[in-house]
Amino acid sequence: MKSFLDNYDKNRVSMPIVPLRGLSIFPNMIIHFDVGRLKSIKAIELASMSESNILLVTQKDATVENPSLDDFYHWGTVASIKQMMRLPNGGLRILIEGLYRGHIESFIEDREYFEGEVDEYRYGEYVDEINDELKALVRLVKSKTEEYVSLHPKLSDNAIMTLYEMEDPGRLSDAVSSLLLLDEEEYQDIIKELDIKKRLEYMLGLINRELDMLKIEEKISVRVRNQMNKFQKDYFLREQIKAIKKELGEEGDSESELMELGERIDEKDLPNEVREKALKELSRLSQNPYGPGESGVIRNYLDWILELPWNESSDSDISLSETADILDKDHYGLEDIKERIVEYLAVKKLNPESKGNILLLVGPPGVGKTSIAKSIAHSLNREFVRMSLGGMRDEAEIRGHRRTYIGAMPGRIIAGIKKAGVNNPVFLLDEIDKLASDFRGDPASALLEVLDPEQNKDFTDHYLDLPFDLSQVLFITTANSLNIPDALLDRMEIIRISGYTDIEKENIANRYLVSKQIKNAGLKASQIKFTPAAIRHIIEYYTRESGVRELERMLAKIIRKAAVKFAKGELDLSNKISIGIKEVEEYLGARIYSRDILDKKDRVGVVNGLAWTSVGGVTLQVEAIVTDGKGRLTLTGKLGEVMKESAVAAIGYLRKNAKSLGIDPEFYYNKDIHIHVPEGAVPKDGPSAGVTMATAVYSALSGKMVDRKVAMTGEITLTGRVLPIGGVKEKLLAAKRMGVTTVILPEENKKDLDKIGEIIDELNIILVKDIGEVLKNAIK
């Protein structure tokens, strides 16, 4: 007779052990978390170096900082380490995959980390007979889990789609367990239960308990919502009565209106200064309640005072792990901004009265600056307000108009706070680098007080003429470039968001964009599937961007065309469309971009340069020709002053070192030099094209060809030194898109390469100190 143990392949092996606090890992789970304790770090480093697995066990008491052998359970999950990254604080951030169950049989003493002899229970597939009782149990678990997912506000419907495709009872039990909120003892009961039938029965009880709790929460929510609807209905009816009385010439009793305003002032939680101002205005209104103009102004003013959240805040328990999970779920990559938000939360948790910095997210369009701000609000459980600053010219839009003006209103900052309904929302100031100014004032100057943590606790709007505390607001600003006044820039913490690599774009498309566009088209994830090759084909031949907006548009176009086939009845709704390279070219047409845009052959005086713009990195070719003349230098291509000076510096270096470089020392007297940068209608400026222009002129003077597969960037000095430049990642991405194989960078930019992974592996990066090394590697 078969035993339930026949479902497992038991094997004993020694391995490092890592105790976890507040985290439960099941087989087949892929998750990342941070490790800070010394013993755990050493255990993980050893496992990573030896390419061995680790046993993840749960700590009995999460408050114990240095656990002993008796402080954690002996059943856990054997896991493999997929990725490991060292954090600035000395800790580790690891990505692991749960493999199978494990039990500690004995410990190995005298180690700097926990290690033991572990029995691995490797689960392959369910070998027992799946009888009707087990089938019914599996079906019941799936049904209850679907109900649980539908009621749970933080679980996606995609989770249940995955579960329904599972037929194996063992894998199903682990997948469902990962969705439940379990305490340590419940986790142990599940992880150590090897009898899959008993495990499913136990989990069914847990699911029913969670369903009961969710239904109670839903009842409370509906009750509160109905109560709010009643209040809104009463207010609407009262307004209708007022309108009817006005039409009949029987406008309501002014005394009752004044009494209502007085009651609202008494009930509202207002600062003393604001309360005194409101009562003073109410007194003025009572003295002349039917003044044709002034009474309307006073009523509007009192309404603004009473509707602003002077002391109302969002109540939220700060959970660092939950915040990190939400940010990771909503966005791929962007580790710097995620880490900064967790730091902000940590400080806020330890010191609730602390004043947070103003964050400035700088990066090209389409990399997720605005959407990460929404995710931050979601992760902090705060209201979100977005205010676009693009093209704003009037200071009054920030500070409001004084009440002496007809139609005066508060500025958009106060209006945004009113809309949020709390005094501590996440407030996004979008496109801050697009601010303008004219005779109506400078909005950037008005923002100085708003974005200064030392001043904004007493921000005074011209309309209210009362101080409003903005110190609890988390301001986040976005920009494509740092074209921002220095005084304003000084008040913000700059976080750069670089363009995405092709691999990152592929991950973003698979994790977020495809499912989003399928949902927008009214289809199901089971009806359309993109092959990995199709996604890469779209990225490579139909987009040329730093972000993913164009990629999302292309995916949406393909999905819409597939939706047409379903809508017309050409395909049954139960059918599934697989999108490969052939379908991509059928739906999107001929390729828009060529993979290799290099010249077909090496040429004299033509050099590939790299530049950074507000929309990411771009490539540009610098051309130079030499003709007989009198030493005149001509620069064309709509070049800025800094770029022109770089050309002059490059010529100066070549004159000084003509003999050692093997060119005619008299070229400056009998030759004219013309440097041109194509796309002459586009303004270009900056010092980073210095080495490119020097190489182009040298090639033209010497008659030697330049390797077309080499691109370069760097500032040149009169002595030939190559100075560092910015935007390294964006420039390398542009070089990769162009198809070059070698990139020449200043040696001082070596530090920037540590943050760039797979791009470096695909390019030959040459670091140089002077122009001589540049010529050595670029000239044939």
The residues carrying an active-site annotation are 688, 731
> Residue 726: how many CB atoms within 10 A of its CB?
15
Phi, psi torsion values for 729, nearest 5 degrees: -60, -45
The set of residues, in sequence order, having a beta carbon less than 8 Å from that of 571 and lying 6+ positions away, is 565, 577
Q: Where are the beta strands (DSSP E) in 410-554?
A: 426-430, 459-460, 467-468, 474-479, 492-496, 528-530
**SS3 at position 305:** helix
Task: Give the span between the Cα atoms of 333 and 54, in whole angstroms.
Answer: 26
* Torsion 710-714-715-716 (CA) sign: negative
Closest CA to 587 of 519, 504, 515, 528: 528
How far from 491 is each of 129, 176, 453, 496, CA to CA, in Å?
68, 48, 8, 16
Task: Give the span between the Cα atoms of 201 and 149, in whole angstroms.
Answer: 19
Closest CA to 281 of 267, 263, 266, 300: 300
Closest CA to 618 of 539, 543, 723, 544: 544
User: Could you tell me what percentage of the chain is helix, strand and coil, using 3-state DSSP and rounding each to the nearest 5?
Assistant: 45, 20, 35
> Residue 262: how many CB atoms within 10 A of its CB?
15
Task: Give the span between the Cα atoms of 483 and 476, in whole angstroms.
Answer: 17
How far from 610 is each of 31, 183, 619, 741, 777, CA to CA, in Å?
38, 55, 5, 13, 16
The CA-CA-CA angle for residues 505, 510, 516, to 5°, reads: 105
Q: Which residue has the tokens 């007022």?
A: 242
Q: Which residue has the tokens 């670091």?
A: 767
754: its two tokens: 């540590």
382: left (phi over 0), alpha (psi -120 to 50) or beta: beta
The set of residues, in sequence order, having a beta carbon less than 8 Å from that of 215 and lying 6+ positions away, is 151
Phi, psi torsion values for 300, nearest 5 degrees: -60, -40
Q: Which residue has the tokens 């979008």?
A: 430
Query: Hey, what amino acid is at 74?
Result: H
The set of residues, in sequence order, having a beta carbon less than 8 Å from that of 587 and lying 6+ positions away, is 557, 558, 561, 562
Task: Give the span between the Cα atoms of 114 and 106, in whole angstroms.
Answer: 11
How far from 20 is each of 79, 137, 320, 328, CA to CA, in Å?
13, 32, 15, 20
Task: Give the span between the Cα atoms of 389 and 508, in whole angstroms.
Answer: 28
Closest CA to 521 of 554, 577, 561: 561
> Residue 321: how many CB atoms within 10 A of its CB?
13
146: its two tokens: 């679907």
DSSP for residue 542: S
Burial of 77 (0-12, 13-18, 19+ CB in 10 A): buried
DSSP for residue 577: E
Question: Euclidean distance between the first and final Cα of the chain, in Å?
Answer: 78
Return the bridge partners of 58, or none: 20
Packing angle, helices 335-350 and 369-379, rounded to 10: 30
Find how far residue 232's CA is from the centre of its chain: 37
